[in-house]
Amino acid sequence: MYSNNGNILIVDDNKSILTSLEILLNPEFSSVKSLSNPGQILTELRKKDYNLVLLDMNFSAGMNTGNEGFYWLGRIKEINPDISVVMITAYGDVDTAVRALKEGASDFVLKPWDNEKLLATLKLAIQLNISKKEVKQLKERESGLKKEINREPGIIIGSSHQIKDVLRMARKVARTDANVLITGENGTGKELIAQEIHRLSDRSGEILLSVDMGAIPETLFESELFGHIKGAFTDARENRQGKFELADKGTLFLDEIGNLSFHMQSKLLSALQNREITRVGSNESVPVDIRLICATNRNPDKMVSEGLFREDLLYRINTIHIEIPPLRSRGNDIIELAEFFLRKFTVKYGKSELRINNQAFDKLMRYTWPGNIRELQNTIEKAVILCDSSVIKPEDLYLKPTPGISDNDPVITLEEVEERMINLAIEKNNGNLTAAAEQLGVTRQTLYNKFRKMKNNVK
């Protein structure tokens, strides 16, 4: 990430010394910049990432106390405590050298210098700076990863063919580094599928870092994803790695990517194409190695056609597309999930004898679950908390009114529930059987056969 040769800034008011040092140092280091005016030091350090400053100690005519050098050493260390500073002067003694080291200088060199010794001194000081940067990066990364590492992995519950198809696709793509786009309604478990892909991938030993793109204000987008350096903006009090750097070698999961503005989409596309980022306030590019998984509850193709999403970005993130079916189309998975959440919350709230009766299960199966698995979990948790007996009954389940189905309706058959769901899906999709079939999680032919059977029964 950092050049082993390093970037050097030389500050000396003697032009001939600057020329001599440039001739000596240019072949040995990545870049060498000279300043004859120390008043330009701070501006230059904010423009470029330097590893070392070779700093003269006296700039005013007739001055040989070294106080000017100590002043600028202090200013340099204020804005970059880790940068290496080597002091150079013709008026040195042991006391001055000791003071320089105490105040933060890496080393002390006397004029006239020995070329070989000077090169060795500078290379050692640069290596010290690089080591400090690496340690600091590791600490930043450790701090940024703690919350992610401590997250509990989710569990995918269900035995319907719809969820099995999704898991089969996830397993196929997991061993590759292909970008994956996961779509589906809110609460269907898109992040769980992302976790499963990461768990089965060659990057499973590294981090899966999740980012809710809908929760990041546009003004903080670049800082959050790409990081920033100290002083880049008002509240940037220290260097900070962004999500891309934190996820390096692992998987980056960008949830709700459909909420990005066109400006943010452009920034994201650039990072994905170049596989490198630049922290806010820095000119240094940082390479990143990530596996990208994105998710949205919106229709990305429709967003492209409406001019809301960049087509080139969609192609970039959509190598493999996985559609998560809504809970209402997963049949008995509703029962399996309800029983799973019941076990979880009876343990949590100390109600181990609690069970759900058949009439309550019927009510769960009749409901359309607009909030999907997340809503089911909330419903079961609420029922466990509020139920006063050992049995959860229909009246203990607090559900939103469902279009076409009322809690006051008499008990109806599963066939009647299916008929209502089919009619509702066809109505919502303006008679488009293909779209309705996709929403219900069945093939178009299956839906057509059921629809034809319904019409025949009416006759």
pLDDT bin (cut points 50, 70, 90) of residue 135 is: confident
Q: Which CATH number applies to 412-459?
A: 1.10.10
Question: Does pLDDT of 261 surpass 50?
Answer: yes
* CA distance linking residue 173 with residue 201, whole number of Å: 8
Question: Does pLDDT of 412 surpass 70?
Answer: no
Instruction: Give pLDDT, residue 92.
Output: 73
Enumerate long-range contacts of 370-374, CB under 8 Å, 24 or more apart. 370/185, 370/400, 371/186, 371/187, 372/185, 372/186, 372/187, 372/188, 372/189, 372/326, 372/327, 373/187, 373/188, 373/189, 373/327, 373/337, 374/186, 374/187
The second-level CATH assignment, the architecture, of 7-135 is 3-Layer(aba) Sandwich (3.40)
β-partners of residue 33 are 9
7-135 and 161-323, same CATH topology? yes
Instruction: Give pLDDT, residue 305.
Output: 93
In the block, residue with structure tokens 């190598």: 319
* CA distance linking residue 181 with residue 256, whole number of Å: 11
CATH fold label, 161-323: Rossmann fold (3.40.50)
Question: Does pLDDT of 404 surpass 60?
Answer: no
Instruction: Give pLDDT, residue 449.
Output: 73
pLDDT bin (cut points 50, 70, 90) of residue 144 is: low
Has domain 326-411 been given CATH number 1.10.150.20? Answer: no
Residue 10, phi then psi, degrees to nearest 5: -105, 130
Instruction: Give pLDDT, residue 233.
Output: 82
pLDDT digits (tens, 9 = 90+) for 102-121: 998 989 888 889 999 999 99
- Higher model confidence: residue 388 or residue 231? 388
Domain ranges within the chain, ordered by starting residue: 7-135, 161-323, 326-411, 412-459
Enumerate long-range contacts of 57-62, CB under 8 Å, 24 or more apart. 57/87, 57/88, 57/89, 57/91, 57/92, 57/96, 58/89, 58/91, 59/13
Q: Is the dihedral of CA 254, 298, 266, 213 positive or negative?
A: negative
Portion of the chain with pLDDT greater than 90, in percent: 59
Kindly report the average pLDDT of the chain as a whole number.
86
* HSE value, Cβ hemisphere, 13 Å, CA-based, for 48: 15
CA distances from 415 to 336, 345, 353, 369, 438 (A): 20, 32, 33, 18, 20
Q: In what order do the strands lie in the sheet with 84-89?
A: 31-35, 7-11, 52-56, 84-89, 107-110
